[in-house]
Amino acid sequence: MAAAALETAAAPPPPAGSPGTGTGHGGSAVRAFLAHLAGKLAGAAVSLLAVLVTSFFLFRVIPGDPVRSMTHGRQVDAEQLANLRRQFGLDLPLWQQFTDYCGKAVTGDFGTSYQFHAPVMELIADKVPATLLLTGTAVLLYTALGLWLGTRSAWRHGGLGDRLGTGIALTLWSVPSFWLGLLLIITFSVGAGPVPGLFPTGGMESGDETGFGYVLDVAHHMVLPVLTLVAVGYAQTLLVMRSSLLDEMGGDYLTTARAKGLRDDLVRRRHAVPNAMLPAVTLVFVNLGHVAAGNILVETVFSWPGIGGLFYQALSVPDLPLVQGLFVVFAGAMILMNLLADLLYPLLDPRVNRGR
């Protein structure tokens, strides 16, 4: 026994970076994260490439001739139509159009809009602030509302509040957003409703306000579209959070926390909710991706000058460069948000990388 102890004491320390040292453990964790990051970046790049290919071919099956749509109501002969097709590159073989599109798209150049005669990215950049204001406000509100109501509903599942709240959420979730928007306009804006003229029927501003009055004017115009988005959107977050928390409520660690004398609200906030957040995080990041994409139907119904309304205008022609650029922006925002969610998972739950 004594000899063994002396041999152990005299043995040299293990080399740095070996599995038994803290440095080695930290190095393996870094390598695991870098491998995780490389895999996710490669997957995002492949997804974006698939989006570029899809955006080119998908919108060329839309019925209608862009050139004839642009010249609708004007007398043009065949030679003029041919010149317009040549100007927009529509006379080239499809494979050449595709290679030109991909070559320019990787540099952020999606061409010039047929109907607005301006660079696509300039048109999109001009509409982004309005969409971020409207959809961003709605996403923040319905995410917070859904997480709060979902937590309360799960913690008191089976009660009257749970059944009533879940029923209302499911009902609103099944309502088409454009129909709800029209209903709110009829109720609160036009003469057919009980409180006509309370809110504007559409647009972002009245055009005659400055300073703080302008802020209030924009906020006044935002009420109905934000209410529409929140009413339709909060249910999904509520249901995901409720389901995830119900799965956690049977855990032994919650029983142990209660046995230690922790109050019920502390058990919920400090133990149950953090462990139930992982599925909700995915949904939160997906909703953040929707911020950049906007909401086509709601922005169209309320004449909101954002990306959604621009996409509707582009589809009506069809304005191929603008449609393609918007489609890539929408999909790219979703890919980016999913990538950020994947990279955040190991920080929220180290078990995600376990076994690497």
**Contacting residues for 120 by C-beta, under 8 A, at least 6 apart:** 110, 111, 112, 113, 321, 322, 324, 325
**Contacting residues for 258 by C-beta, under 8 A, at least 6 apart:** 264, 267
Average pLDDT per run of 10 along the chain, which is 356 residues long? 42 44 58 78 86 79 64 64 71 79 82 85 90 90 90 83 87 88 87 72 80 87 92 88 80 73 72 75 79 78 88 82 87 85 72 53
**Contacting residues for 247 by C-beta, under 8 A, at least 6 apart:** 276
Residue 35: Cβ within 10 Å count: 12
Residue 184: Cβ within 10 Å count: 20
Give the model's pLDDT for residue 225.
93
Segment holding 27, helix H or strand E: helix 22-58
For residue range 253-284, what is the model confidence (pLDDT) as tens digits? 777 777 777 776 777 767 677 777 777 777 88
**How far is it, in rounded angstroms, from Cα 114 to Cα 88?**
8
Q: Report residue 197 as tokens.
A: 């003229």
* Of 181, 190, 201, 218, the residue nearest 295 (C-alpha): 181
Give the model's pLDDT for residue 70.
63
CA angle 342, 345, 350 (to 5 degrees): 140
Question: How far is CA 179 from each of CA 167, 174, 238, 239, 299, rounded to the nearest angstrom?
Answer: 19, 11, 22, 22, 13
**φ/ψ (deg, to 5) at 112:** -115, 135
**How far is it, in rounded angstroms, from Cα 341 to Cα 348?**
10
Q: What letter would DSSP give residue 79?
A: H
* Of 145, 136, 164, 165, the residue nearest 307 (C-alpha): 136
Q: How many residues does the chain have?
A: 356
Give the model's pLDDT for residue 77.
64
Give the model's pLDDT for residue 356.
45
Give the model's pLDDT for residue 18.
45
Q: Is 284 buried (19+), middle (13-18) or exposed (0-12) by CB count in 10 A?
A: buried
What the chain holds in terms of domains, given with CATH numbers, is 40-353 (1.10.3720.10)
Burial 3-21 (b: 16+ CB within 10 A, else e): eeeeeeeeeeeeeeeeeee
For residue range 28-79, what is the model confidence (pLDDT) as tens digits? 767 777 777 788 888 888 888 888 888 877 777 666 666 666 665 566 666 7
Give the model's pLDDT for residue 223.
93
Give the model's pLDDT for residue 293.
64
- 303 within 8 A of 203, measured Cβ to Cβ: yes
